[in-house]
Amino acid sequence: MSILAVGSIAFDAVETPFGSREQILGGSCTHFAIAASFFTSVNVVAVVGEDFTDEQLAVFKSRKINTAGLERRPGKTFRWKGKYGYDLNTRETIYTHLNVFADFDPKIPEEFKDTPFLFLGNISPKLQLEVFKNTRPRFTALDTMNYWIESTPDELRELLQFVDLLIINDEEARELAREANLIKAARKILSFGPKRLVVKRGEYGAAMFSQESYFAMPAFPTEDVFDPTGAGDTFAGGFIGYLAAVNSTDENDMRRAMIYASVMASFNVEEFGCDRMLRLTYREINERFKYFKRIMHFEEIEFERKSV
C-alpha cells in the first residue's frame, strides 16, 4: 500500500558541538518520506518556494517519492535554524522563517485521495483536519507538538477522534493529557479517540499503547548523535512505511514497525540532515533490526525459593 504524507519541506541550518551546516534539506515531510520510501511508495503534499531547485527535487526523485502534490509558490521555502547543546538533548531555535509555509493550504491531487495510509505531519490541526476530510484513508497517523496542544486544543481533540495512530514524544504526551505519569497519560490520550499511541522517548527508546496492549523498547545505543533534527519524522516514516508495505495493523506488525521506526531514526541522527538516509542499504536496516532483537532478548524462567 502507498502512503500520503502532508507536512513541511524546509531548509534547515543546524549548529551542533561537532560542526554546523546551512541550507540542509529538511522538514517533517522530507524526513518522513525518505524513511518511508525504503518500505513503500510515498506521495507528498507540501509547499516550497522559488529557492527550491532541481537539486532538492532530485533527492525526492532518487527515493521514487511522488511529488505531484508539491506546490511551488512565489517567495522563499520555510527556513529554520537550531543550535544543539553539548549533549544534543537540548535545542535552541535561532530563527523560524515560515515564508511560503505561513499560508500553506494543502492541495491534494485527485490521484492521491484514495491513498490507503495517511500521515499528517506536524502542521496546524485545522489543516490536518481539512486534509483528513478531503481524503479517504484507511489508516491515519498523526504527529503534533506542544504549540498546537496549547494553541488549538479543540481542533486537535476533534482530529484525535478519527486517528488510528498518534505518534508524539514523551513531553507532548504528558502535556496533551495534563498528567505527569506517562502510563496514566497514555490511557487518557487513548480515551480521546486514537486507537493507538506511540510515545518517542529519545535516548530512552519508545513505547506503544492501545486499549489491549503495551510494548516498550530501548533506543539503539548510539555513541555519537551527530544531528538529531528530523529523528521524530524519520521514526514515523519507518513506522508507517513498514505498516503500509505489509498492509497490516495487527499487533505483531505494529511491534515490528516500532523496531523499524527506531532503526531508521537511529541512522538519521548519525549525520547532518538526510545524508545518512540517502546512502542507507537494506542490509544495514535489517542488521540493525536483528541487533534490537539481540539486545532485548531474554529467556523465561520461573523461580521459587523453596526454603523460605
Give the interface with its own copies as residue ranges (CB under 8 A). Answer: 37-41, 63-64, 86-87, 89, 180-184, 187, 201, 203-205, 207, 214-219, 221-225, 242, 245, 252, 255-256, 258-260, 282, 285-286, 289-290, 293, 295-305, 307-308
8 A C-beta contact, residue 173 and residue 199 = yes
- In the bound state with its own copies, the residue whose beta carbon lies nearer, of 102 and 278, is 278
Minimum CB separation of residue 182 from its own copies in Å reads 7
- In the bound state with its own copies, the residue whose beta carbon lies nearer, of 23 and 181, is 181
Nearest to 182 by CA among 202, 207, 204: 207
Minimum CB separation of residue 179 from its own copies in Å reads 9
8 A C-beta contact, residue 257 and residue 266 = no
All three cell numbers of 61 = 526523485
Minimum CB separation of residue 149 from its own copies in Å reads 18
CA dihedral in degrees (115, 216, 82, 3; nearest 10)? -10
Spatial CB neighbours of 307, under 8 Å, sequence gap ≥ 6: none
CA–CA gap between residue 217 and residue 225 (Å, rounded): 19
What is the pairing mode between strands 42-48 and 19-26?
Answer: unpaired
- In the bound state with its own copies, the residue whose beta carbon lies nearer, of 105 and 300, is 300
CA–CA gap between residue 283 and residue 267 (Å, rounded): 13
Minimum CB separation of residue 176 from its own copies in Å reads 16
Minimum CB separation of residue 88 from its own copies in Å reads 8
- In the bound state with its own copies, the residue whose beta carbon lies nearer, of 108 and 243, is 243
Neighbours of 52 (CB within 10 A): 22
| φ, ψ (nearest 5 deg) of residue 279 | -125, 25
- In the bound state with its own copies, the residue whose beta carbon lies nearer, of 99 and 262, is 262
- In the bound state with its own copies, the residue whose beta carbon lies nearer, of 120 and 257, is 257
Minimum CB separation of residue 62 from its own copies in Å reads 9
Dihedral sign for Cα atoms in the order 263, 143, 197, 240: negative
**Rounded to an integer, what is the distance from CA 12 to the centroid of its chain?**
17
